[in-house]
Chains A and B, each alone.
Chain A
Amino acid sequence: MNTWSWGYVGDILPDLLKGLWITVQATLYGSLVSFALGLVWALALRSPSRRLTWPVSIVVEFIRNTPLLVQLFFLFFVLPGWGLTFPPLATGVIGLGLHYSTFTAEVYRAGIDGVPAGQWEAATALSLPRRRTWSAVILPQAFRRVVPVLGNYVIAMFKDTPMLAAITVGDMLFQANSISAATFDYMEPITVVGVLFIVISYPTSLLLRALERRLVR
């Protein structure tokens, strides 16, 4: 039976922290992509033009309803065959961002729908241009409602990053796996990875709750 070895933990920690840094980067960039792209979907789906809403809703539904891992494999193994090659981390960021954008789009939609009709009417009564109505009236009010929900998706994405190990991104799980494969000792690396995840995600979710209380007054 294995016994826990703190010395072993000390040896592997630098590599795991390197992996953690990759994990954090993937989450941050992936989130930014999903925030921006989700807004694009949400606004496109509100367009009066069927020719725009129709293809967008098909793409969004398709991405939302297929597994992230399959999408990552597609981006990583299939696209290069078509001459599109990205480094693993970039591929991971695109995959996470794209996948989660279909959920943030829904969050934005709900946030936008939650802005009372009277706000649109007041903007019309003042003849505010459409762009200005969106940017100064509707979106700022929608954002207040969506920030806490988006935060939850960031945490969910953070916890999905180990999937990137499957496309050779050197995230925490990838590091732990390489170490263990060499030492045949899985207990410490995998346990430390779990601990590092909770050390980050739990305080983040507490922070989010505090933010939510501030925003939704």
Chain B
Amino acid sequence: MSADPNLPEETANPAVDGTELIRFDHVTKRFGAHTVLDSLDFTVSSGKHVTLIGPSGSGKTTILRLLMTLLTPDEGTIKVGGDYLTHEEKGGRLVPAGEKHTREVRKNIGMVFQQFNLFPNMKVLRNITEAPVHVLGLGKEAAEERARGLLDLVGLTDHVDKYPTQLSGGQQQRVAIARALAMRPQVLLLDEVTSALDPELVAGVLDVLRDIAHTTDITMLCVTHEMNFARDISDDVLMFDAGRVIESGTPEKIFTEPEHERTREFLSAVL
């Protein structure tokens, strides 16, 4: 990399190989006087499924929202696929990114929200085709074909012509998953996507996500309290506390022999 003094040092995470997809470098995020993320470093390799766990308020949602550019970091940089997300290089200097640059980098990222956030004024099919048509420039037919394929994947082929309010929470969330996937993102962010669902609807949504995790090479960054699900799909589990990664490893290691006392406490509370 360049030796320009304006660029941040990139020595914090030595794991620079060709497959690194997400990189947080010294990312700090504050809300007022409250520092939620404190010079956070971590990387996610392409194709990996990473689960973030940690107590309430530890900053898990904040990380996903930073990646989705719903928040901007106060310090540090985030890279996705080798490009800066909220910065861009101009004449060797790192400056806050313009709308256009951020949009380009962000296209690689999709997100599913706890509250679904489907567009209630659009039928299911158009919820899914809207962005492929108006962001990727896909033709209407091609977008609808893609949407139908995804609705098949999430088991909702019979519901194309319904409005979101005519669906159950579980069905809405599966539409939201299809909507995110329709953009063919490299990264899928999942923030407690089953927390707002009635208990009997959780399994259907998790099954769909398991299916996607096992049959596609999409990178997943997942915040969940469903520890069995996390164990099934994760390559890595990151344990957060007070805005830092205090422990990481395979699900087997984290769930069966955690090293950190905080991790043990947290797991005994949720398992």
Q: Which residues of A contact B (CB under 8 A)?
A: 116, 118-119, 121-122, 124-129, 132, 136-137, 140-141, 144, 217
Q: Flag whether B143 is at the interface (Cβ < 8 A).
A: no
Q: Report, nearest first, the 4 A-B pairs whose CB atoms are least far apart.
A: A126-B131, A122-B117, A118-B117, A125-B111
Q: Flag whether B113 is at the interface (Cβ < 8 A).
A: yes
Q: What are the residues of chain A within 8 A of B111 when measuring CB–CB?
A: 125
Contact call A127/B121, Cβ cutoff below 8 A: no
Bound CA–CA A144/B122 (angstroms)? 13
Q: What are the residues of chain A within 8 A of B180 when measuring CB–CB?
A: 125-126
Contact call B117/A128, Cβ cutoff below 8 A: no
Q: Flag whether B119 is at the interface (Cβ < 8 A).
A: yes
Q: What are the residues of chain B within 8 A of A116 when measuring CB–CB?
A: 117
Q: Flag whether B184 is at the interface (Cβ < 8 A).
A: no
Contact call B68/A129, Cβ cutoff below 8 A: no
Other than the given A125-B180, A137-B121, 20 more pairs (CB < 8 A) read A118-B117, A119-B119, A121-B113, A122-B117, A124-B70, A125-B70, A125-B109, A125-B110, A126-B110, A126-B130, A126-B183, A127-B107, A127-B131, A127-B183, A128-B130, A128-B135, A129-B135, A136-B119, A136-B122, A140-B121
Contact call B121/A121, Cβ cutoff below 8 A: no
Q: What are the residues of chain A within 8 A of B106 when measuring CB–CB?
A: 124, 127
Shortest Cβ distance from residue B227 to the other chain A in the assembled complex, whole angstroms: 26
Q: What are the residues of chain A within 8 A of B69 when measuring CB–CB?
A: 124
When C-beta atoms are compared, the residue in chain A nearest to B126 turns out to be A136
Q: What are the residues of chain B within 8 A of A118 when measuring CB–CB?
A: 113, 115, 117
Bound CA–CA A114/B130 (angstroms)? 22
Q: What are the residues of chain A within 8 A of B118 when measuring CB–CB?
A: 122
Contact call A119/B117, Cβ cutoff below 8 A: yes
Bound CA–CA A136/B103 (angstroms)? 18
Q: Flag whether B134 is at the interface (Cβ < 8 A).
A: yes
Bin the interface of chain B by size: 20 to 34
When C-beta atoms are compared, the residue in chain B nearest to A136 turns out to be B130
With contacts A118-B113, A132-B134, A136-B130 known, is A125 near B68, CB below 8 A? yes
Which of A119, A128, A140, A217 touches B131 (beta carbons < 8 Å)?
A128
Specify which of A127, A132, A140, A141 lies most central, judged by the most chain B CB atoms within 10 Å of its CB.
A127
Q: What are the residues of chain A within 8 A of B109 when measuring CB–CB?
A: 125
With contacts A125-B111, A129-B135 known, is A141 near B70, CB below 8 A? no
Q: What are the residues of chain B within 8 A of A128 when measuring CB–CB?
A: 130-131, 134-135
When C-beta atoms are compared, the residue in chain B nearest to A125 turns out to be B111
Bound CA–CA A122/B115 (angstroms)? 10
Bound CA–CA A26/B215 (angstroms)? 64
Q: Flag whether B48 is at the interface (Cβ < 8 A).
A: no
Give a binary string over B74-118; 1 marks a CB under 8 Å from any A CB, 0 the rest: 000000000000000000000000000001001101110101011
Shortest Cβ distance from residue B85 to the other chain A in the assembled complex, whole angstroms: 12
Q: Flag whether B179 is at the interface (Cβ < 8 A).
A: yes
Which of A119, A122, A125, A129 touches B134 (beta carbons < 8 Å)?
A129
Contact call A127/B103, Cβ cutoff below 8 A: yes
When C-beta atoms are compared, the residue in chain B nearest to A131 turns out to be B134
Q: Flag whether B120 is at the interface (Cβ < 8 A).
A: yes
Q: What are the residues of chain B within 8 A of A144 when measuring CB–CB?
A: 121
Bound CA–CA A71/B120 (angstroms)? 41
Q: What are the residues of chain B within 8 A of A121 when measuring CB–CB?
A: 68, 70, 113, 117
Interface positions, chain B 18-44, Cβ under 8 Å from A, are none
Interface positions, chain B 132-166, Cβ under 8 Å from A, are 134-135, 165
13 contacts between A and B (CB under 8 A): A118-B115, A118-B117, A121-B117, A122-B113, A124-B69, A126-B130, A126-B131, A126-B183, A127-B106, A127-B183, A129-B134, A132-B134, A217-B165
Q: What are the residues of chain B within 8 A of A217 when measuring CB–CB?
A: 165
Bound CA–CA A140/B109 (angstroms)? 26
When C-beta atoms are compared, the residue in chain A nearest to B110 turns out to be A125
Shortest Cβ distance from residue B79 to the other chain A in the assembled complex, whole angstroms: 18
When C-beta atoms are compared, the residue in chain A nearest to B132 turns out to be A126
Q: What are the residues of chain B within 8 A of A140 when measuring CB–CB?
A: 121
When C-beta atoms are compared, the residue in chain B nearest to A130 turns out to be B99
Shortest Cβ distance from residue B53 to the other chain A in the assembled complex, whole angstroms: 22
When C-beta atoms are compared, the residue in chain A nearest to B120 turns out to be A141
Q: What are the residues of chain B within 8 A of A126 when measuring CB–CB?
A: 110, 130-131, 135, 179-180, 183
With contacts A121-B70, A121-B113, A125-B180 known, is A141 near B121, CB below 8 A? yes
Shortest Cβ distance from residue A125 to the other chain B in the assembled complex, whole angstroms: 4
Bound CA–CA A137/B122 (angstroms)? 9
Q: What are the residues of chain A within 8 A of B70 when measuring CB–CB?
A: 121, 124-125
